[in-house]
Amino acid sequence: MSSAVEAVPAKPASGRLASLDAYRGFVMICLAANGFGLAAAARNFPDCSIFQAIGYQFEHVAWVGCAFWDLIQPSFMFLVGVAVPYSLTRREAQGESSGKLVTHVLIRSLVLILLGIFLSSGGQPVTNFTFMNVLTQIGLGYPFLFLLRNRGLAIQVAAAVLVLVAYWAWFALTPVKPVDDPKDIHLPENWTLLTGFEAHWQKNANPAATFDRWFLNIFPPAKDPAREAPTTVTGTEGETDEGASGESAIEPARPGLLGQIGAVLRRLVTRPEPYVFNSGGYQTLNFIPSFVTMLIGLMTGEFIRRNSGQHARVFKALLTGGLVLCALGWGIHALGVCPLVKRIWTPSWTLFSSGLTLLMLSGFYGIIDGLGWKAWSFPLVVAGMNSMVLYLSGQLLRGWTADLLKRHINDDLFNIFGEKYAPIVQANLVLLCFWLFVYWLYRQRVFIRV
């Protein structure tokens, strides 16, 4: 049985789609660099319109709308779908049976879900069972993506339409509770509430948010062990563990093996505190419409494989498909049928963002695979071939790496161009460290796959 996490010491296959690796590498570099520090630096220049415009693009919009940074997760998930026909066909060519493929898919899905929960638990006293992280969202949708592989375009399109229409109808048909004050639904006082039909997609007051207030509280809140731990008295009268003070020392009881196992299990299934709302408005059930983003990627990957070598045909199809989906998504939003909200992955957002990812892929494909201009993309390809390493480095090691650079080079290293530009310098120097590591892995022909 193949493992879900593999270190593959092999030469990259010559048949790889270079534009796919480059696009994936571009996304991972943006994530690992935390937007190159541009949003943080823009806050140091509140009166500079250029910096404010750039900074806006490297932060998520508050609710309705789209900025460049909002396209990172759709690109991530879209590219997962594009890669499926290549990765699973490679496994079949190596002789893996259908049973092994199913096992691989299920294990991969579980690993991604657990990785997402692990990343969401950083800084928490216990495991934080939330399912909004991009890895968890991919893991939840991945088995369904596998089921639709090689099913034909008509079935895949029908599945996408069915999911989006059903998800839209659930929101649209759920009665709206009147909200007079944003603070009533845990929003800032100056928050602009959605009105009319669009209020069905209100932040913290939509069906998916209601679902999470039930589902995430299945995991009970952690209790304070200091208040409930049983105690025992040690020592004898007149002689205690603290000396001959005549007072007995109080110690927590030491549970047996079963008690210790129970404590571990309770720690794993408890929440730090009862779930009320997600500050960003993200919801667990986002994986349902975002699965369609991956499905569009799957259809794209299968189309590219079927038309391998027909670069002009593929480029035109990617460009046309991107423009059509953008128009559909924006049109649904503009008509007031469904607002464009990334944070709850509305159906209009699914179509619009998928269209933009297709347009970006068409750019990478046309330049790299169509025109054959590949040299410039080498740093991106290196990053894309160890994308998970780069992503996890950015999530777990960004602050630690910055501290090391200051400690071993110069404490004032990031202020080389002045304090206002320090976020940009820091983000890019940390990124350089991460990229050099994945470049070393590339030179060693080691590629970490999940």
Q: What is the pLDDT of residue 91?
A: 87
Q: What is the pLDDT of residue 256?
A: 64
| Cα 117 from chain centre | 11
Which residues, at least 6 apart from 438, have a Cβ–Cβ distance to it below 8 Å? Answer: 382, 383, 385, 386, 389, 390
SS3 letters for the chain? Answer: CCCCCEEEECCCCCCCCHHHHHHHHHHHHHHHCCHHHHHHHHCCCCCCHHHHHHHHHCCCCCCECCCHHHHHHHHHHHHHHHHHHHHHHHHHHCCCCHHHHHHHHHHHHHHHHHHHHHHHCCCCCCCCCCCCCHHHHHHHHHHHHHHCCCCCHHHHHHHHHHHHHHHHHHHHHCCCCCCCCHHHHCCCCCCCCCCHHHHHHCCCCCHHHHHHHHHHHHCCECCCHHHHCCEEEECECCEECCECCCCCEEEECCCCHHHHHHHHHHHHHCECCCCCCCCCCCCHHHHHHHHHHHHHHHHHHHHHHHCCCCHHHHHHHHHHHHHHHHHHHHHHHHCCCCCCECCCCCHHHHHHHHHHHHHHHHHHHHHHHHCCCCHHHHHHHHHHHCHHHHHHHHHHCHHHHHHHHHHHCCCCHHHCCCHHHHHHHHHHHHHHHHHHHHHHHHHCCEEEEC
What is the mean pLDDT, run by run of 10 residues, along the chain of 450 residues?
47 68 96 94 94 95 96 96 91 87 94 92 80 94 95 96 98 92 89 94 95 87 47 37 41 56 58 83 96 98 93 96 98 97 97 98 96 94 94 93 92 92 96 96 90
Report how far residue 160's alpha carbon sits from residue 287's, in angstroms, rounded to the nearest whole number: 13
At 290-329, the pLDDT tens digits run 999 999 999 999 999 999 889 999 999 999 999 999 999 9
Query: What percentage of the chain reaches a pLDDT higher than 90?
Result: 72
Q: What is the pLDDT of residue 82?
A: 96
Q: What is the pLDDT of residue 20?
A: 94
At 332-355, the pLDDT tens digits run 999 999 999 999 999 999 999 999
Q: What is the pLDDT of residue 77?
A: 96
Q: What is the pTM of this model?
A: 0.86
